[in-house]
């Protein structure tokens, strides 16, 4: 006994739609709904992820480095020590070597 088509028709009517659900038009794709405008960078210290930082996806690498090093969470791990190297892979990861 197949109930799915009947339930789908009932739900279609309860949602306020008219006509048959099988004759409904498929939604039109809108690229604006799937666009990414930011990325949550995982920030690692010596290879261990310590926190994530949400930054714009089109931010240049030098600005990413500046934003990460000025973040309060990074100051907690850096303290007074200057990083030896900052490795940034855009849209992937930030690793700080102490």
pLDDT tens, residue by residue, 17-70: 888 888 888 889 999 899 889 999 999 999 999 999 999 999 999 999 999 999
In angstroms, the CA 84 to CA 9 distance is 64
Total domain count, the chain: 2
pLDDT-based confidence at residue 1 (cuts at 50, 70, 90) = low
Residues 9 and 51 in one domain: no
Q: Residue 52: which domain range?
A: 38-97
Contact status, residue 73 vs residue 43, Cβ threshold 8 Å: yes
Q: For the full predicted model, state whether its pTM sits above 0.75.
A: no
List C-alpha distances in Å: 83 to 2, 23, 42, 61, 90: 64, 62, 17, 16, 19
Residues 42 and 86 in one domain: yes
């Amino acid at each position: 006994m197949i109930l799915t088509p009947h339930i789908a028709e009932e739900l279609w009517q309860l949602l306020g739609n008219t006509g048959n659900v099988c004759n409904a038009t498929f939604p039109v794709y809108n690229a604006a709904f799937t666009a990414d405008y930011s990325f949550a960078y995982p920030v690692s210290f010596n290879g261990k992820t310590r926190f994530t930082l949400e930054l714009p996806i089109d931010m240049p690498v030098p600005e990413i480095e500046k934003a990460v090093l000025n973040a309060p969470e990074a100051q907690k791990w850096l303290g007074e020590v200057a990083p030896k190297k900052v490795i940034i892979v855009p849209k992937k990861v930030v690793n700080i070597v102490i």
